[in-house]
Amino acid sequence: MRSIRSSFLIIILISFSGNLICQDVVAVLDRIYGPDQTLFNGKKYTYYPPPGTERHQYLFSPDFVEGSVTIKGKNYNDVTLNYDIFNQQLLLQFPDKNGPRNRIEVSKARLESFRLGNMNFEYLKLEKEPRFFQVLGQSPVQILYYWRKNLDVNGIIGSYHLTFTRAVRDSFILKDGQLKPFNTKRKLITLFDPGIRPEIKSYLRKNKVNVKKASDRVIEEMLVFIANLK
């Protein structure tokens, strides 16, 4: 297959007498052999909120950003992604011959993880149904965030509009393969073994860690400290 592809490339270059630049050749080959069906295996993204809806359905912004995705053990870097947390869909944007911007829902059938900016997400089956979780820290103790939005109706009868809520995250400790929810510092401490609770409590107080508002970096530093406790 490699020799056939190389020969075909030479033929194209000769036929067009150098007028076809390398990028155009790659595009021709992609149309002949087809894109990577593992990555481009998803239906077209067609969700559009009703006109007049305030805010948006995405995690941070309607803008797509550079990221990476792992599907069936294969990592794809430098892809353009966004995360619709209202519909819980990972979206891939790419150009093709039909237009400058196609958007598809990345198939969850073999989706393992993705990176959006500095945030790492995994598609995990820890409850009845698989869900996307932002993952912080390393095993055996990790913190997982589940991000979501709702669509609220505001106004009065005869005059109302729809508004997406701000992004909300549900916080969990992943320990021994089980999700354990927490929403306060006190609840977080109780999820660990009694022998190390005083040290965790002291660390949180000393470093003024607010578990509801702490940055990902602060939480990851906390998890490193906990992992080193005996």
Of 39, 109, 104, 48, the C-alpha closest to 78 is 39
What percent of the chain shows pLDDT beyond 90? Answer: 67
Asked if residue 19 has pLDDT above 90, the reply is no
Q: What is the mean pLDDT of the chain?
A: 85
Structure tokens at 202: 């002291």
Tens of pLDDT, residues 106-145: 999 999 999 999 999 999 998 888 999 999 998 888 999 9
More confident residue, 28 or 118: 118
Structure tokens at 10: 């030479």
Q: How far is CA 133 from CA 20, 84, 101, 193, 194, in A?
A: 45, 13, 27, 24, 27
The H or E element containing residue 8 is helix 2-15
Q: Which amino acid makes up residue 18?
A: G
Query: What confidence score (pLDDT) does residue 139 get?
Result: 83
Domain ranges within the chain, ordered by starting residue = 1-34
The pTM of this model reads 0.82
Q: What is the average pLDDT across 140-158?
A: 89
Structure tokens at 100: 């400058």
Query: What confidence score (pLDDT) does residue 85 get?
Result: 98
Q: How far is CA 192 from CA 184, 188, 202, 223, in A?
A: 14, 8, 14, 12
Asked if residue 28 has pLDDT above 80, the reply is no
